[in-house]
Structure 1
Amino acid sequence: MPNPPLGNLTAEQFLADYWQKKPLLIRQAVTQFDWLPELPDLLALAGQEDVESRLIEQKQGRWTCESGPFRPSRFKKLAEADWTVLVQNVNHHIPFAAQLLYRFDFIPHVRLDDLMISYAPAGGGVGPHFDSYDVFLLQVGGKKRWRISSQTDLTLVEDAPLKVLQHFEHELEWVLEHGDMLYLPPRYAHEGVALEPGQTWSVGFRAPTAQELGGAFLDFLRDRIELDGIYTDPGLTLPADPARLPADFVRQVAGMLQGISWDETIVRDFVGRYFSEPKAHVFYDGPDDELSEAKFARAVAKQGVALDLKSVMLFDDDHVYINGDTLEADQAAHAVLQQLANQRKLPPAKYEESVLDALYECYNYGYLQLGAG
């Protein structure tokens, strides 16, 4: 895996001095592209059912936002300027995009979200805004002017379909050319306007709110709690007000609910499952011609395996999580499975039966495929 795309900085220096602290401009951060899409390539992705995409336009000072998939005819109606098409999770569909995303694994995988590509003609942009998460903005082709601000006034334009800042006063300005990259911490106001037709490849990170996590955790607990007992009131007396909530009733219900509890072990299991769970539009296809276990083992020895581009694999000391589930595997297999999670592939080799059992299960679900050898 190539070094992190941080210019002359080491990952340690970047984390200590910039991560969630201050912006950083890196000239020529990425210089080699094994995949360099043209606009028709991006529009083709935006037309797929399993791809999240948006089309943003500014007409007479008003913003509009449409969600894909889009028919090709939709793009024939666009003006020469003042529009942007955005394609999410390109790393799910293009191997080079996935490879680039995982060059940022100096941040734990549990925080990595996706690589989004936006294309804009000259004048195109999405307005001044801020993100609630860290973002790396890589310029690919063309030129774009970025203006940024540490302003605390984050008031948004009312009734706009986008989160556009009502008042934006930039402090710094740069023009990014092909291969240049800008890092911005969360809630840092910024505006990008294309000076020439080009793309921005955005690497975003997961930063869930406490409300989001709380709701998801309660859903997680709902399927796992086991509370004993049933409400009883053998000492019930005649109520003066039948509609009043009896204090004893409330007190007993409160006592029953105190049986709901959790500890760090339960939270760790929730985190492993929740942060590896695929998004709603993501599906996996098993092999068309499923190999037997014996043939699979021989193929792995010759070819190795690689995680599907859409797969997310995480682990702790005791568990391996993949795509929202725990992978049932013998503890002896965990070291190799952890290697697979970290590197997203395993080299050709004759692996122990416990490892092959786990790999074969993932293979059948479409979570991984045989490698190229």
Structure 2
Amino acid sequence: MKLPGGVAAEDFLRENWQKQPRVIRQAFPGFQCPVSADELAGLACEEAVESRIVIANENGKPWQLHNGPFQPERFSELPETHWTLLVQGLDHWVPEIADLLDEFRFVPNWRLDDIMASFAPRGGSVGPHFDQYDVFLLQAEGQRTWQFGGHCDESSPRVAGTPLRILKDWAPEQTVTLNPGDMLYLPPGTGHHGIADNDCITLSIGFRAPTVDDLLTGFTDFLCSRSDTSEHLSDPDLEVQDNPGTISPDVIDRLDAKLREKLHDRRQLALWFGQYSTAPKSLGIVVPPEHPLTPEFMGQLIAGLHQIRWNEGSRFAYYEFDEETALFVDGEQYLLRGDAGPIAGLLCAGTRPDIERLAGFATDDAICGLLCTLANQGSLYFE
């Protein structure tokens, strides 16, 4: 497997992933941005789209942030230079942008997050900062100069007077200018500052990195939703203590054993994580179609090699147990057994499942029923 630009995935993961930045020239030769600046501005006016405007200096205040949705006239009020429009989750709304994610599936599906678009006129920037996740910065239009390098963390000094986490007294180690099709990879914690040389659009392919807090609270909440966690602690072998205020080691041992029993259930952990990691980031885009399909019609469509694809905001993953396979789609789980197991890997391999292989299941009522369910909940659709 190779990254865009021909870099071997194994080499990149060994040498760069979460280790050091990498510039990939012409990762996408002849790249043409699927969206224009005007279309990004239009999306930023939509209620369902997350958008922001960052102004480098507004009435003497540094790095001011404004959250969308915006009124159309807002864009005519902006200065000529030194501002940036950010549109989050652009892949949720533009199929051609969503297709780019398939170029980055050298990492598991659950690690991919979304694609953010950044439009800026000359001098536009969001300031020097760092992220807690991996990111690929693809230059889609115009030119942008990037300064980057040095490890940053929560103790790094910040600029006062701004709602953004702008680095103060940060010294970059490298400077590069990206042209359309060029791409820069940055590991978590790497300081970076991109400045538009002219009207430009940059696409940021981001990756998910859940915190330990997210994992602990998510899994324990999942366990607590199970009926068997309502049982009370018991101590039929209780003995009289010298001091009633003492919490004995035996109590801690029993608590430890009980919690380990629940937390060490690998099946429940896998089922929770599959649902957690595929929960859609944007609930408003995974919606049922106006005209539901029937399993019979689904079978006819795939037998006729009509291409099916993921909803742009959907997430797919699977986990193989000893005797069954759990398919996870948009936070829901489907347990597959026997001959149905291979359908999970087929559906999860990319945004457009191999329709010729999928056609082999056209006469399988159970599989067509599953595909029908996924289509009717909005996770799959025919192009």
Asked if TM exceeds 0.5, the reply is yes
Give the counterpart of 1:342 among 349, 352, 361.
Answer: 349
Give the counterpart of 2:218 among 212, 216, 219.
Answer: 216
2:312 maps to what in 1?
A: 309
Give the counterpart of 1:164 among 139, 160, 166.
Answer: 166
**Correspondence 1:262 to 2:263:** yes
Q: Would the aligned equivalents of 1:35 and 1:96 in 2 still touch at CA under 8 Å?
A: no
CA root-mean-square deviation? 2.8
**Residues 55-78 of structure 1, C-alpha deviations (whole Å, 9 max, x = no match):** 111223512112211111111210
Q: CA deviation at 1:247?
A: 5.3
Q: CA deviation at 1:154?
A: 2.4
Q: CA deviation at 1:361?
A: 1.0
Q: CA deviation at 1:271?
A: 1.3
Q: Would the aligned equivalents of 2:317 and 2:329 in 1 still touch at CA under 8 Å?
A: yes
Structure 2 counterpart SS, 1:101:
helix
Q: Would the aligned equivalents of 1:34 and 1:96 in 2 still touch at CA under 8 Å?
A: no
**Correspondence 1:355 to 2:373:** no
Structure 1: which 5+ residue stretches go unaligned?
238-244
Bigger Cα displacement from structure 2, 300-309 vs 139-148: 300-309
For 1:133 and 1:109, how far apart are their aligned partners in 2?
Answer: 15
2:71 maps to what in 1?
A: 71
Give the alignment's TM-score, normalised by structure 2: 0.86
For 2:195 and 2:263, how far apart are their aligned partners in 1?
Answer: 48
2:197 maps to what in 1?
A: 195
The correspondence of residues 1-373 of structure 1 with structure 2, limited to 5 A, is: 4-5=3-4, 7-33=5-31, 35-59=33-57, 60-152=60-152, 154-224=156-226, 225-229=228-232, 259-260=258-259, 261-263=262-264, 264-279=266-281, 281-302=283-304, 303-317=306-320, 318-346=325-353, 347=355, 349-351=359-361, 352-370=364-382, 372=383
Q: CA deviation at 1:277?
A: 0.6
Q: Would the aligned equivalents of 2:33 and 2:140 in 1 still touch at CA under 8 Å?
A: no
Bigger Cα displacement from structure 2, 62-71 vs 281-290: 281-290
1:242 maps to what in 2?
A: none
Structure 1 ranges of 4+ moved more than 6 A: 230-233, 248-254
**Residues 247-301 of structure 1, C-alpha deviations (whole Å, 9 max, x = no match):** 5899879957853422222222221111101125444222212233222221222
Q: Would the aligned equivalents of 2:293 and 2:375 in 1 still touch at CA under 8 Å?
A: no
- Cα distance change of structure 1 residues 252 and 27 upon mapping to structure 2, 3 Å threshold: closer
Q: CA deviation at 1:50?
A: 1.8
- Cα distance change of structure 1 residues 345 and 353 upon mapping to structure 2, 3 Å threshold: farther
Give the alignment's TM-score, normalised by structure 1: 0.88
1:240 maps to what in 2?
A: none
Aligned residues, how many? Answer: 363
Q: Would the aligned equivalents of 1:131 and 1:186 in 2 still touch at CA under 8 Å?
A: yes
Q: CA deviation at 1:32?
A: 4.5
**Residues 84-132 of structure 1, C-alpha deviations (whole Å, 9 max, x = no match):** 1111111111111111122100111111001110000001001100111
Structure 2 counterpart SS, 1:138:
strand
- Cα distance change of structure 1 residues 157 and 196 upon mapping to structure 2, 3 Å threshold: same
- Cα distance change of structure 1 residues 281 and 53 upon mapping to structure 2, 3 Å threshold: farther
Q: CA deviation at 1:215?
A: 1.7
For 2:247 and 2:8, how far apart are their aligned partners in 1?
Answer: 63
Aligned-partner residue type, residue 67 of structure 2: S
- Could you tell me the percent identity over the aligned residues? 32
Q: CA deviation at 1:328?
A: 4.1
Bigger Cα displacement from structure 2, 334-343 vs 290-299: 290-299
For 1:103 and 1:15, how far apart are their aligned partners in 2?
Answer: 15
Structure 2 counterpart SS, 1:273:
helix
